[in-house]
Amino acid sequence: MGLMAAALIDRGFAGGSVWVLRNNAGARHFYEALGAEIVVEREEFWNNETKIADLAYGWPDLSVLSSSSETHL
């Protein structure tokens, strides 16, 4: 995640986000442990039948993630 954040910063992005299925507890815990916060919640229908609930986790300042990559290399 740190390397990804550094690459986005190099391309001019200050912040970033990722979509996660609401029921994916493992992924949600992972992103929360990295300091992400929920910025959007939505529910949609897939194929007009199956309801999909997901969340966008975001980091307004990617430098928080990019600096952590140096300690995990």
pLDDT tens per residue, range 37-58: 999 999 988 888 888 899 999 9
Q: Does the predicted TM-score (pTM) go above 0.85?
A: no
Are the C-beta atoms of residues 46 and 52 closer than 8 Å to each other? yes
Give kind and range of the element (H or E) at residue 44.
strand 37-46
Is position 73 within any domain? Answer: no
Look up the CATH number of the domain holding residue 53. 3.40.630.30
What's the total number of domains in the chain? 1
Is position 38 within any domain? Answer: yes
Q: What average pLDDT does the chain have?
A: 89
Helix (DSSP H) and strand (DSSP E) numbers for the chain: 3, 3
The residue assigned the tokens 């290399």 is: 73
Say if residue 67's pLDDT is above 80.
Answer: no
pLDDT at position 54? 95
- Chain centre distance of CA 49: 27
> Which range of residues forms the domain containing residue 8?
2-66
Q: Angle 20-23-29 (CA atoms, 0-180°, nearest 5)?
A: 65
Is position 19 within any domain? Answer: yes
d(CA 6, CA 72) in angstroms, rounded, equals 13
Is position 6 within any domain? Answer: yes
